[in-house]
């Protein structure tokens, strides 16, 4: 496939889990970030086809980071990652340009389906 993905999550376990799912599905994980500042730097460096963005992170949350990425590239594809019970944040993120969302705990088939949908 050759689709380049940047994973943004403050939890190293979640990044590792998502990376494993995506690589097994044939996607190329070109970078990881654990906070907003690093996410923006990595986005500029690796120019990914898709970003998976954790909604709740220390410091700037995922919605603010999403808005910053969209201001850098209005065509950016960002898929939000949320825990159950974060519906209001998901609505904000969708309004700010997110292509969709996946929920934790991850079901590999749902992750792959949402990633493919976001890339269309």
Domain CATH code at residue 47: 3.40.50.2300
pLDDT tens digits, residue range 50-105?
999 999 988 889 999 999 999 999 999 999 999 877 888 899 999 999 999 999 88
Nearest partner of 79 among 51, 60, 106, judged by Cα: 51
pLDDT tens digits, residue range 19-52?
999 999 999 999 999 999 999 999 999 999 999 9
Q: Tell me how far apart the terminal alpha carbons of the chain are, to the nearest angstrom.
A: 13
Domain range for 63 is 4-119
Helix (H, G, I), strand (E, B) or coil at 47: coil
**CA distance linking residue 63 with residue 112, whole number of Å:** 22
Q: Are 22 and 30 in contact (CB under 8 A)?
A: no
In this prediction, residue 111 carries a pLDDT of 96
Q: Are 16 and 41 in contact (CB under 8 A)?
A: no
pTM of the model: 0.94
**CA distance linking residue 37 with residue 104, whole number of Å:** 23
Q: Quick check: 1 pLDDT over 70?
A: no
In this prediction, residue 2 carries a pLDDT of 81
**CA distance linking residue 42 with residue 62, whole number of Å:** 15
Number of domains, the chain: 1
Angle formed at CA 80 by CA 7 and CA 45, multiple of 5 degrees: 35
């Amino acid at each position: 496939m050759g689709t380049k993905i940047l994973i943004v999550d403050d939890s190293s376990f979640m990044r590792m889990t998502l990376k494993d799912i995506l690589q097994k599905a044939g996607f190329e994980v070109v970078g990881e970030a654990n906070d907003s500042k690093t996410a923006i730097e990595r986005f500029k460096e690796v120019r990914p086809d898709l970003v998976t963005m954790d909604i709740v992170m220390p410091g700037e949350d995922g919605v603010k980071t999403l808005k910053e990425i969209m201001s850098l590239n209005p065509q950016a594809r960002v898929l939000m990652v949320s825990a159950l019970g974060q519906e209001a944040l998901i609505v904000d993120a969708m309004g700010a340009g997110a292509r969709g969302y996946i929920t934790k705990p991850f079901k590999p088939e749902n992750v792959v389906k949402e990633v493919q949908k976001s890339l269309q």
